[in-house]
């Protein structure tokens, strides 16, 4: 028997697991456990197909495994290893069964839509305030007074932000105002968290309903200041 017959597949499986678990998240989002499991299963199936292509390869791959399990002519450490594997397998199955059937102590999963569709009247508005340095400056002044306690320096990390869930939006993040139109921001600022539709879970948002305290013109100026300060451009109709 060649050692590589089993060492190579074992190393491949372990290496693949370490790669999926620890290396992949450096380039992309962490992979879900179920996806890692799927990749490992596919690899295992591939190894099994490859190793059982011919009678010789099958014997050299499966023969030692079968002899190990059946315990033919074993002594010393091999005997101990076999007993350990035979004892561990049912325990692992039992543990898996327990974890999958144990009553859940986790709270219900939440499926919040981050950017639900605005009401029709807010869909096609354009900013009536010209994008001049003066208006941007005024907008930034209003932003500092009204928005920065939570939204901070356009990064969502203001001094008042820490207790809120969902956290205040980070405008520097390319998935927030950069992919939204100015009219969307106007709606969110004017109507606040309580103006969200049901899929936006309005009962959780701390965003004030600024229409009671700010004029429309001030809101449009804040929007100019917000895009400028965050270094983003509003999405436009292509």
Residues in 1-40 that interact with other proteins by CB under 8 A:
1, 3, 6-7, 10-11, 13-14, 17, 21, 30, 32-33, 36-37, 40
C-alpha 160/C-alpha 230 separation (Å) is 19
Instruction: Tell me if 91 contacts other proteins by CB under 8 A.
Output: yes
Q: Does 102 bind other proteins (CB under 8 A)?
A: yes
Closest to other proteins by CB, 16 or 178: 16
Residue 69 as a binder of other proteins (CB under 8 A): the answer is: yes
Q: Which stretch binds other proteins (CB under 8 A): 88-96, 135-143, 215-223, 227-235?
A: 88-96
72 counts as binding other proteins under rule CB under 8 A: yes
Q: By the 8 A CB rule, do 181 and 124 touch?
A: no
Chain residues 172-231 in contact with other proteins, contact rule CB under 8 A: 191-198, 201-204, 206-209, 213
Rounded to 5 degrees, φ, ψ at 28 are -140, -175
Considering only residues 103 to 132 of the shown chain, the ones binding other proteins according to CB under 8 A are 103, 105-108, 119
Give all strands (DSSP E) within the chain, no chain letters.
none
Q: How far is CA 137 from the centre of its chain?
A: 36
> Judged by CB under 8 A, does residue 49 bind other proteins?
no
Measure the CA–CA gap between 85 and 198, rounded to whole angstroms: 53
Alpha-carbon distances, residue 124 vs 135, 161, 179, 205 (angstroms): 22, 31, 15, 24
């Amino acid at each position: 028997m060649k050692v590589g017959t089993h060492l190579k597949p074992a190393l491949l499986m372990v290496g693949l697991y370490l790669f999926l678990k620890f290396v992949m998240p450096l380039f992309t989002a962490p992979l879900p456990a179920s996806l890692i499991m799927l990749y490992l299963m596919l690899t295992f199936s591939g190894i099994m197909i490859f190793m059982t292509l011919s009678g010789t390869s099958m014997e050299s791959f499966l023969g030692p495994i079968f002899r190990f399990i059946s315990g033919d002519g074993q002594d010393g450490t091999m005997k101990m290893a076999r007993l350990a594997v035979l004892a561990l397998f049912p325990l692992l199955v039992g543990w898996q069964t327990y974890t999958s059937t144990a009553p859940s102590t986790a709270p219900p999963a939440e499926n919040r839509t981050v950017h639900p569709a605005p009401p029709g009247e807010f869909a096609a508005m354009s900013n009536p305030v010209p994008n001049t340095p003066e208006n941007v400056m005024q907008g930034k002044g209003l932003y500092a007074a009204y928005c920065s306690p939570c939204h901070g320096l356009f990064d969502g990390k203001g001094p008042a932000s820490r207790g809120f869930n969902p956290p205040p939006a980070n405008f520097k993040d390319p998935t927030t105002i950069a992919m939204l139109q100015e009219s969307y921001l106007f709606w969110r600022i004017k109507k606040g968290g309580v103006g969200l539709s049901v899929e936006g879970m309005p009962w959780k948002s701390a965003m004030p309903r600024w229409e009671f305290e700010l004029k429309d013109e001030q809101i449009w100026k804040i929007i100019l200041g917000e895009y400028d300060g965050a270094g983003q451009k509003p999405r436009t109709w292509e």
